[in-house]
C-alpha cells in the first residue's frame, strides 16, 4: 500500500479506491486505540499485583500485631459504645463479656468500671478508671495520635497479670471520638525490667557501699591514691588540701612519691621511707603479700602510717594496681608509749610483789621457827617455871609479829581494792595517848634507847577520829624509829593541837624523830610505794616487809591529812603528821570506859553457846573463858547451834559466839535462822561474830544478818570480856525471857544515801578497839538483833504475842538513775513501816533498809544505788506493844531496774 495523492496520474482511474480510504482510516484509528488500552490494562495488572503483595505484607504484619493483643475494642466516645474486635479465650474479659465472639455493642463507661472492680488490683483500680475515662481520653488524644499505660490485674488462665493498654485514635487528622483500645500482656517485659532494676539497684548499692567505704577510710586515712604500676600513673581518691596542692589530682606516680617523701618526711626517716616508696620494686615486694606498711615521723612532729594495698593482679598474679593510703597515728603512738610505760610499771610492781613474797616468806618463817623452837624448849623445861615463862613470852612476841604481818597484808589488800575506810567516832585523845608509853617499852625490848613521849597544848580533849587507824599511823612510824635506831640513840614522840579560828576543827600534829640510820634521798622518793624497803632482812639485822609506810600514807590521805619527812643518812629521821579533826562534846561512852577488873567481875557466871567447827579453836576459847569464870557449850556447826538454842530453856545462854565459816550451815545463815525463831530471846540474845575475815564488807554482812558485834580472830580476850560485860550490864531480862532496849552507842550521822520523812537509820558503831556493834532496833527480821535498852516496865508474854499489824501494799516503785522511790498504802493502827531493797530476791546482796516511824508517811526514797541494777523491794508494817515492835509479814513489790 502506498499513498494516494490527487496528483497521482492514475487517480482518475481509481475512484473506488478513493472511496474506501475513509473506511481504512477509521479502522486504523481503532487499532491504535485498542493497542493503547491493552498497554494500560497490562500496566494496571502489574500495579494490582504489586499492591496485592504490599497488602499481603501489611495483612501479615497486622495479623502479628493482632495476635500480640489479648483483646481489641472499637470505641466511639461520643456514643459511649464499645465493640469487641478481638477477645482471647484466656483473657479475663472472656469471662466478663457474654458471647465475646459475636458482634455486640457494650456500654463503654459501665464496662470499664465493672471490669476495674472485678479484675484490676486494688492499688491500680482507680488509676485504670481515670486513664480510660472518656473526658481524659478526649483531652489526651486531641493533640497526639496515641498514648499507653500499664496496670496490674488478677492473673488470667495463664497466670499473666501485668498488661499494657494502647489507645489510638482512628482519624489521622482531626479527632472524631473514634478510637481503638488494645490490651496485651507484658509479664515478660516487666520481669526483664525488674531484673534490670534489681541489677541497677544492686550496682547502686555496691557503688554506695564502695563510696561509704572510701568515705570511712577517708576519715582514717587523710590521703588515698589509686596507682597503676604498669603505666606509672596515679589518681587521687581522697586527700587533704595540702596534699592536693602538692600532687594535684592525677600524675606520674613515682615522681610524686619522691616529692611527697622529700616534702613531708623527717630527715631521720627519709631514706627508710624513700625505699618504701620505690614503686619499681613494689610489685615484687607485694608478690606474696596483700599489704605493706611503714611508720614514719613527719617534719611537723606527727607520726604517720603509709600503706600500700593490692587492688588488682594480672593473670600471672603480678600486682598491676594498688591503693596508697596515709594515716595520722600520733594519738595511737602516745597511747602505745603510755601502755609501754604502764606495762613497765606493772612489771616493776610484779617484780616488787615477787620480791615481797620472797621477803615475807622469810619474815613468816623467822617467827614460826621461833614459836616452834621456844615451844620445844618449854616442853623440855616444863618443870622450870622461869624458863617456861621466858619461852612463852618469846612465843607471844613471835605471835604478835605474825599478827602484825597479817594485819598489814590485809590493809594493803584493802588499799588495792579501794575498801579501806575510816570509821570516825568521839575519842578522848589524852586517854588514847596513855597507851603509847607501855607499848613503846614493849617495842623497845632489850634495846637501850632514850624514848621521850611529850603531849602538850591539847585544847580539845575529845575529837572525832578513827582511834584504831590513828594508833596504826603512829605505831608504824614509832616502830620504824625504834627498829632503825641503834643502842644509845633516842626516839621522840611529840603531839599537840593547833586550833582553827572557828574552834570547830583542830590540826592534830604529831612529830616523831629519831637519831637512827636515816634514809637516802633515793629511798625517800619512793618510800611510800608498796613492797619497798631500803634494807633486806635476809642480809641485814633489821627486818620489815615494805608495807608500813605505804599504809601510813594511805591512812593519812583518807583522813585528809598530810605527812612530811626530813632525813639524813647516819643522822636520823623526822616525820611530821598533820591531821585535821572535828571537835565534839565530851559526853560519850565507849567500850574502853569499862575497866578490866569491872569486866572480869561482870562476866563471872555467864554461860555461852560457842559455834565453832574447829575442835582445837573451841578448846582454846573455852579454856580462856573458863579462866574468867565463864562456861560454854559447843555447837559443831551452824545447824547444831540453831537446834541447841531452839531446844534450850529461857536464860540458858547469855550470848552466842558464832564462827562464820562452818559446814552444813555457816554463821550468817545460823544467825538469820535464830533471829527468825518463834522463841523468847531469839530476837535479842547477843550474837558475836568471831572470824578471820576482817574487811568492812565482811563486818557489814555480819551486822546485816542480825549479829550484834564482829571480832576478828585471834580473839583479844580483854575486848571480848568488855563486850560481854557491856551486853550483860545493859540487858534487862523480863519474866518471859524477852529483853528490850538498846546498846548505848556513840552518835552516828544518818547515812546520806537514804532520804525519807520521819525515818530512822540503823547505826553501825565502831568502838575504839576496832570492833563493830549494830545498834538497830529489835525485830524478828534477820537483819536485826540488837541488845535492848533497860526497861522499867516488864513486858508480858501476852503483849509480846499480841496480834500482828495488818500488812501494807506496795503501790508504786519509780526508778531513776541511782535511786528508787517506793510508795505504799497507809495501814490504820500501824506505828510505822520498814522498807528494804536488795539486788537478789533473798534480800542478801547490796541490801539497804530504812525504818519510817510515822504511820502517815507512805513514801521513801533510797539513793546512791548502783545504776542499771535490778532491785527487789519489800515493805512491812510494825506496831509498838509496850516497848517492843511487832512486825507484819513482808509484802514484795515489783522488781525494778535503775536507769
CA–CA dist 510, 809 (Å, integer): 57
Percent of the chain whose pLDDT exceeds 90:
29
CA–CA dist 540, 524 (Å, integer): 19
Residue 683 lies in a domain: yes
For residue 272, pLDDT over 90 is answered with: yes
Where residue 599 sits, what CATH number does that domain have?
3.40.50.2300
CA–CA dist 730, 591 (Å, integer): 12
Where residue 819 sits, what CATH number does that domain have?
2.60.40.10
Lowest mean pLDDT among 699-708, 802-811, 831-840: 802-811
Q: What is the DSSP letter of 153?
A: B
Residue 773 lies in a domain: no
Q: Are residues 400 and 463 in the same domain?
A: no
Where residue 321 sits, what CATH number does that domain have?
3.30.450.20
Q: Are residues 607 and 675 in the same domain?
A: yes
Q: Are residues 37 and 97 in the same domain?
A: no
Q: Which residue has the higher pLDDT, 417 or 853?
A: 853
Length of the chain equals 899
Residue 324 lies in a domain: yes
Residue 196 lies in a domain: no
Q: Are residues 813 and 838 in the same domain?
A: yes
For residue 794, pLDDT over 50 is answered with: no
Q: Are residues 411 and 430 in the same domain?
A: no
Among 179-188, 362-371, 527-536, name the most confident range.
179-188
pLDDT of residue 748: 30
Q: What is the pTM of this model?
A: 0.37
Of the candidates 417, 448, 483, which is a domain's last residue?
417
Residue 51 lies in a domain: yes
Contact between 166 and 184 under an 8 Å Cβ cutoff? The reply is yes
pLDDT of residue 863: 83
User: CA separation (Å) from 284 to 281, 318, 323, 533?
Assistant: 6, 8, 16, 59
Of the candidates 47, 64, 81, which is a domain's last residue?
64
Q: Which residues pair with 313 in a beta bridge?
A: 319
Secondary structure (3-state) at 730: coil
Contact between 806 and 828 under an 8 Å Cβ cutoff? The reply is yes
Q: Which residues pair with 185 in a beta bridge?
A: 163
Q: Are residues 398 and 454 in the same domain?
A: no
Tens digit of pLDDT for each residue in 390-418?
888 888 877 877 777 777 677 666 666 66
Domain total in the chain: 7
Neighbouring CB atoms inside 10 A of 80's CB total 15
Alpha helices in 562-705 (DSSP H): 596-603, 615-626, 638-647, 667-675, 696-704
Residue 214 lies in a domain: no
CA–CA dist 347, 572 (Å, integer): 33
For residue 569, pLDDT over 70 is answered with: yes
Where residue 184 sits, what CATH number does that domain have?
3.30.450
Residue 202 lies in a domain: no
Q: Are residues 250 and 311 in the same domain?
A: yes
Q: Are residues 531 and 611 in the same domain?
A: no
Residue 392 lies in a domain: yes
pLDDT of residue 631: 93
The boundaries of the domain holding residue 574 are: 425-583
Contact between 685 and 634 under an 8 Å Cβ cutoff? The reply is no
Mean pLDDT of the chain: 79
CA–CA dist 296, 153 (Å, integer): 68
Residue 747 confidence class, pLDDT cut points 50, 70, 90: very low
Sole residue written with cell 535464830 = 674
pLDDT of residue 785: 34
Percent of the chain whose pLDDT exceeds 70:
77
Rounded average pLDDT over 11-32: 70
pLDDT of residue 812: 87
Where residue 369 sits, what CATH number does that domain have?
1.10.287.130
CA–CA dist 514, 508 (Å, integer): 20
Rounded average pLDDT over 27-53: 78
> Can the peptide bond before residue 769 be classed as cis, meaning omega within 30 degrees of 0?
no
Alpha helices in 290-384 (DSSP H): 330-380
For residue 308, pLDDT over 90 is answered with: yes
User: What angle separates helix 596-603 from helix 717-729, to the nearest 10 degrees?
Assistant: 60
Cell of 147: 498514648
Q: Are residues 88 and 45 in the same domain?
A: no
Contact between 572 and 477 under an 8 Å Cβ cutoff? The reply is no
In terms of DSSP bridges, do strands 709-712 and 687-691 run parallel, antiparallel, or are they unpaired?
parallel
* DSSP per residue, 677-718: SSSTTTTTS-EEEEES--SHHHHHHHHHTT-SEEEESSP-HH
Largest Cα separation within the chain, whole Å, is 212
Residue 738 confidence class, pLDDT cut points 50, 70, 90: very low
Report which of 124, 123, 325, 121 is spatially closest to residue 236, judged by C-alpha positions: 325
pLDDT of residue 741: 29
Q: Are residues 273 and 161 in the same domain?
A: no
Q: Are residues 725 and 816 in the same domain?
A: no
Where residue 570 sits, what CATH number does that domain have?
3.30.565.10
Q: Are residues 611 and 739 in the same domain?
A: yes
For residue 442, pLDDT over 50 is answered with: yes
Of the candidates 550, 583, 616, which is a domain's last residue?
583
What end-to-end distance do the CA atoms of the chain give, in Å? 136
Sole residue written with cell 625517800 = 524
**Helix/strand/coil percentages in the chain, nearest 5:** 40, 25, 35
Secondary structure (3-state) at 446: coil
Amino acid at each position: 500500500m502506498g499513498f494516494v495523492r490527487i496528483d497521482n496520474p492514475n487517480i482518475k482511474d481509481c475512484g473506488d479506491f478513493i472511496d474506501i480510504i475513509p473506511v481504512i482510516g477509521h479502522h486504523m484509528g481503532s487499532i491504535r486505540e485498542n493497542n493503547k488500552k491493552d498497554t494500560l490494562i497490562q500496566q494496571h495488572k502489574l500495579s494490582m499485583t504489586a499492591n496485592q503483595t504490599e497488602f499481603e505484607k501489611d495483612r501479615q504484619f497486622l495479623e502479628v500485631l493482632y495476635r500480640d493483643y489479648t483483646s481489641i475494642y472499637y470505641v466511639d466516645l461520643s456514643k459511649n459504645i464499645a465493640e469487641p474486635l478481638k477477645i482471647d479465650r484466656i483473657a479475663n474479659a472472656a469471662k466478663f463479656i457474654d458471647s465475646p465472639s459475636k458482634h455486640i455493642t457494650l456500654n463503654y463507661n459501665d464496662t470499664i468500671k465493672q471490669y476495674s472492680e472485678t479484675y484490676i488490683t486494688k492499688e491500680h483500680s482507680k488509676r485504670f478508671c481515670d486513664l480510660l475515662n472518656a473526658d481524659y481520653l478526649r483531652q489526651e488524644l486531641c493533640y497526639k495520635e496515641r498514648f499507653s499505660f500499664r496496670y496490674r490485674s488478677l492473673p488470667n488462665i495463664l497466670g499473666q497479670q501485668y498488661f499494657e493498654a494502647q489507645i489510638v485514635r482512628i482519624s489521622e487528622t482531626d479527632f472524631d471520638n473514634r478510637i481503638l483500645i488494645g490490651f496485651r500482656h507484658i509479664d515478660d517485659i516487666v520481669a526483664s525490667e525488674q531484673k534490670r532494676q534489681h541489677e541497677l539497684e544492686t550496682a547502686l548499692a555496691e557503688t554506695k557501699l564502695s563510696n561509704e567505704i572510701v568515705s570511712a577510710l577517708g576519715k582514717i586515712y587523710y590521703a588515698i591514691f589509686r596507682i597503676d604500676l604498669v603505666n606509672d600513673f596515679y589518681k587521687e581518691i581522697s586527700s587533704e588540701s595540702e596534699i592536693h596542692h602538692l600532687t594535684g589530682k592525677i600524675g606520674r606516680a613515682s615522681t610524686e612519691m619522691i616529692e611527697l617523701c622529700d616534702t613531708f618526711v623527717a630527715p631521720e626517716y627519709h631514706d627508710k621511707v624513700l625505699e618504701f616508696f620505690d614503686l619499681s620494686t613494689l610489685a615484687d615486694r607485694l608478690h606474696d603479700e596483700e599489704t605493706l606498711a611503714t611508720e614514719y615521723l613527719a617534719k611537723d612532729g606527727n607520726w604517720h602510717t603509709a600503706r600500700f594495698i593490692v587492688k588488682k593482679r594480672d593473670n600471672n598474679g603480678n600486682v598491676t594496681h594498688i591503693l596508697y593510703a596515709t594515716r595520722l597515728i600520733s594519738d595511737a603512738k602516745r597511747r602505745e608509749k603510755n601502755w609501754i610505760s604502764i606495762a613497765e610499771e606493772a612489771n616493776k610492781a610484779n617484780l616488787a610483789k615477787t620480791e615481797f613474797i620472797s621477803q615475807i616468806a622469810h619474815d613468816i618463817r623467822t617467827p614460826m621457827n621461833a614459836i616452834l623452837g621456844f615451844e620445844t624448849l618449854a616442853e623440855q623445861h616444863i618443870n622450870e617455871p622461869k624458863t617456861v615463862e621466858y619461852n612463852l613470852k618469846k612465843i607471844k612476841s613471835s605471835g604478835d609479829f605474825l599478827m602484825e604481818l597479817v594485819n598489814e597484808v590485809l590493809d594493803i589488800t584493802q588499799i588495792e581494792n579501794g575498801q579501806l575506810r575510816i570509821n570516825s567516832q568521839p575519842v578522848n585523845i589524852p586517854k588514847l595517848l596513855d597507851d603509847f608509853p607501855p607499848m613503846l617499852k614493849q617495842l623497845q625490848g632489850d634495846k637501850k634507847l632514850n624514848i621521850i613521849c611529850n603531849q602538850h597544848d591539847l585544847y580539845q580533849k575529845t575529837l572525832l577520829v578513827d582511834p584504831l587507824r590513828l594508833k596504826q599511823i603512829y605505831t608504824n612510824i614509832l616502830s620504824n624509829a625504834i627498829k632503825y635506831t641503834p643502842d644509845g640513840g633516842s626516839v621522840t614522840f611529840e603531839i599537840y593541837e593547833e586550833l582553827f579560828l572557828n574552834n570547830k576543827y583542830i590540826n592534830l600534829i604529831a612529830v616523831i624523830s629519831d637519831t637512827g640510820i636515816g634514809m637516802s634521798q633515793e629511798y625517800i622518793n619512793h618510800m611510800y610505794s608498796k613492797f619497798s624497803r631500803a634494807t633486806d632482812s635476809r642480809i641485814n639485822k633489821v627486818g620489815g616487809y615494805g608495807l608500813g609506810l605505804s599504809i601510813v600514807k594511805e591512812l593519812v590521805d583518807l583522813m585528809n591529812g598530810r605527812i612530811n619527812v626530813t632525813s639524813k643518812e647516819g643522822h636520823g629521821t623526822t616525820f611530821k603528821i598533820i591531821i585535821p579533826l572535828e571537835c565534839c562534846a565530851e559526853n560519850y561512852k565507849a567500850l574502853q570506859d569499862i575497866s578490866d577488873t569491872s569486866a572480869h567481875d561482870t562476866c563471872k557466871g555467864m554461860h555461852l553457846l560457842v559455834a565453832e567447827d574447829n575442835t582445837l579453836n573451841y578448846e582454846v576459847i573455852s579454856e580462856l573463858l573458863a579462866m574468867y569464870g565463864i562456861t560454854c557449850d559447843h555447837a559443831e556447826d551452824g545447824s547444831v547451834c540453831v537446834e541447841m538454842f531452839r531446844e534450850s530453856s529461857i536464860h540458858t545462854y547469855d550470848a552466842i559466839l558464832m564462827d562464820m565459816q562452818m559446814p552444813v550451815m555457816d554463821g550468817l545463815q545460823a544467825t538469820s535462822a535464830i533471829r527468825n525463831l518463834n522463841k523468847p530471846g531469839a530476837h535479842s540474845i547477843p550474837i558475836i561474830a568471831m572470824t578471820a575475815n576482817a574487811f568492812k564488807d565482811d563486818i557489814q554482812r555480819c551486822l546485816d544478818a542480825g549479829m550484834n558485834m564482829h571480832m576478828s580472830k585471834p580473839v583479844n580476850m580483854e575486848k571480848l570480856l568488855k563486850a560481854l560485860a557491856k551486853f550483860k550490864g545493859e540487858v534487862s531480862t523480863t519474866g518471859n525471857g524477852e529483853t528490850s532496849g538498846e546498846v548505848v552507842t556513840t552518835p552516828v550521822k544518818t547515812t546520806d544515801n537514804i532520804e525519807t520523812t520521819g525515818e530512822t537509820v540503823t547505826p553501825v558503831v565502831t568502838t575504839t578497839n576496832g570492833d563493830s556493834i549494830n545498834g538497830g532496833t529489835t525485830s524478828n527480821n534477820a537483819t536485826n538483833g540488837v541488845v535492848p535498852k533497860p526497861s522499867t516496865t516488864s513486858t508480858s508474854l501476852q503483849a509480846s504475842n499480841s496480834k500482828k499489824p495488818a500488812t501494807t501494799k506496795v503501790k508504786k516503785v519509780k526508778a531513776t538513775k541511782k535511786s528508787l522511790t517506793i510508795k505504799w498504802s497507809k495501814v490504820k493502827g500501824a506505828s510505822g513501816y520498814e522498807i528494804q531493797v536488795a539486788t537478789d530476791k533473798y534480800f542478801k546482796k547490796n541490801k539497804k533498809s530504812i525504818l519510817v516511824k510515822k504511820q502517815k508517811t507512805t513514801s521513801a526514797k533510797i539513793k546512791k544505788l548502783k545504776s542499771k541494777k535490778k532491785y527487789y523491794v519489800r515493805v512491812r508494817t510494825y506496831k509498838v506493844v509496850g516497848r517492843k515492835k511487832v512486825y507484819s509479814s513482808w509484802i514484795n513489790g515489783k522488781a525494778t531496774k535503775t536507769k
